[in-house]
Structure 1
Amino acid sequence: MNKKLVLVVDDSAFMRKMISDIIHSSAYLEVIATARNGNDALKKVMELKPDVITLDVEMPLMDGISTLKEVMKMAPTPVVMVSSLTKSGADKTIEAMSYGAVDFIAKPSGSISLNIKDIESEIVQKVEHASRANYKLSINTSPSIKKKDYKPISSNRPIIAIGSSTGGPRALQQVITKLPIGFQSPVVIVQHMPKGFTKSLAERLDKLSNVTVKEVEDGDLIENGKVYIAPGGNQFRVKEINSQLYAEVKQEQPVNGHQPSVDVLFESVAHVQNCHPLAVMLTGMGSDGSKGMLHLKKRHPRTIAISQSKETCVVYGMPQAAEKTSLVDYVEDIDNVSDVLVQKIQKKR
């Protein structure tokens, strides 16, 4: 088996050594070189042509964002960002996702994390998956959009529920930023991310969008024209009280290994009375959300299920699992997903 070659970039010699040792534990990966800053990294990218790069967000001389942009211009390569758990680190990591990074790893205790071994399995898994990812799609700036006509739903109480994971921040940006002012449905989202990063994602999408986007809080009223993103480390459910919809946000046990979990969100929407759900499954690893889609279709047979096409997914796992239920109504390129939602929700004149 030909191993995938990895370039490890970090300004700390200790972190370079620890991350390299962790990656070497994988039978699938081999660290071909390390780099101490962005300039050093760019030289080695051009010289060694690695299959995947781990890239520290905070570095002197040339930071991770600047390095990522140059890599994507010079030699597009799957990149996993390595970030601190600070607000600044989270903001820059979410920005990196929009520039083509496949995924990210959060250092457990600051820029020099002595306990980095605590997340050894996460590092190996994410780097392995990144090396196989359809990463070039995340840097495509001029997609071809296929215009189609979709019949609007007749219900006046739609609710859109979206699940996403690896590659999701970029995909969500492509969907949410195209929703119009006055959009006549609430949008509830689970994006697999740790605490802190979901707030940065919500704030970034809010700045870029016509609709209001926020990290949801327990007790929030769920209203049309607003987008609610589950906070990392908590389960997010939609609850109906006196015909109004509210958010329930609680720290519980992970479901399918995830907190928040798409299945938990979808199943909660299934228990809302007299609504017309639209369930959207975007790029991500695993199968979270497919069971929830089954619940939605069982309780609300008119549920419209949409999955992102394999050709436009960074990782096809979650959409593929949804499609295997045979309940998906539309398989769409990411650039068409917002068109489906807008046309389905628009009112007849």
Structure 2
Amino acid sequence: MVTRSGVRLTAYARGGGCACKIPPGELESIVSGLLGPAVRDDLLIGADDGDDAAVLRIEGGRAIVSTTDFFTPVVDDAYDWGRIAAVNALSDVYAVGGEPLMALNLLCWPRDTLPLELAGEVLRGGLDMVALAGAHLAGGHSVDDAEPKYGLAVTGVADPGRLLRLDAGRPGLPLSLTKPLGVGVLNTRHKSTGEAFPQAVEVMTTLNAEASRIALGRGVRCATDVTGFGLLGHLYKLARASGVTAVVDSAAVPYLDGAREAVRDGFVSGGTRRNLAWAGRETDFGRVGEADRLLLADAQTSGGLLVAGDVPGAPVIGELVPRGDRPLVVR
């Protein structure tokens, strides 16, 4: 695909989107010795379980939500990349039940290699999505870097008595997924071939604001968003934190058009394979085949919310049950 600028941004990145994350197993080994026990009861959500954002109780019966997320180009169009990266960062606030108030740009740019006008398009995309979320974009920070990267640091607000968190799952709760999977393999195909997948861009630029509000309104207290560690990785973290087993009905999981074909044709990122190697050790797959395993571990960028509860319009893909031999079961 030839972009409006004639530049293929994905050619300047080793990885793409949330697939460029440090593998979850390696990341946990790095930070495990750095996370001591919480010493203040006003830190409602910290880094212990790997929740999507930090939440701090403040005066007036409110809580501050803080998060950051940035990554390399996932699509070639600069404006779309900016939109996707912004929506992905905002999602962390929605994933804990918060509302974004303010964001700061995080931009790394190879100024001697790529036109600065493209950086402006990236920032414009981010601005438009932050505005759509009803928040302010108030400056940020930039670095001259060999590889382009963009994202946001986001501050939000939440009700401390109505949070969405990883450790609140209970047996008997259904598992709902608010966006289809498959953007990872489609983005990998896009990076390799230049083919455009507007259905993937549409999913990645859809805010999780409404899904979060609906979940909170229905009394849901356990959720996460599905991003770079794939459905299996994020569900494993939820099941582990909640002390339950998550059972997934593989036939009920929704996928984007073209996702299965992308797996069939070999467009699977290294991040997805690392996700499967990590979460797969904790999963009873039964007779589920390799293609479905890869799709369930597919490294998503700006994915949907995985909710332990009913969300109207979102398919139920499984349930939480009492802890069994393994934290994950796929049927």
TM normalised by structure 1 equals: 0.26
TM normalised by structure 2 equals: 0.27
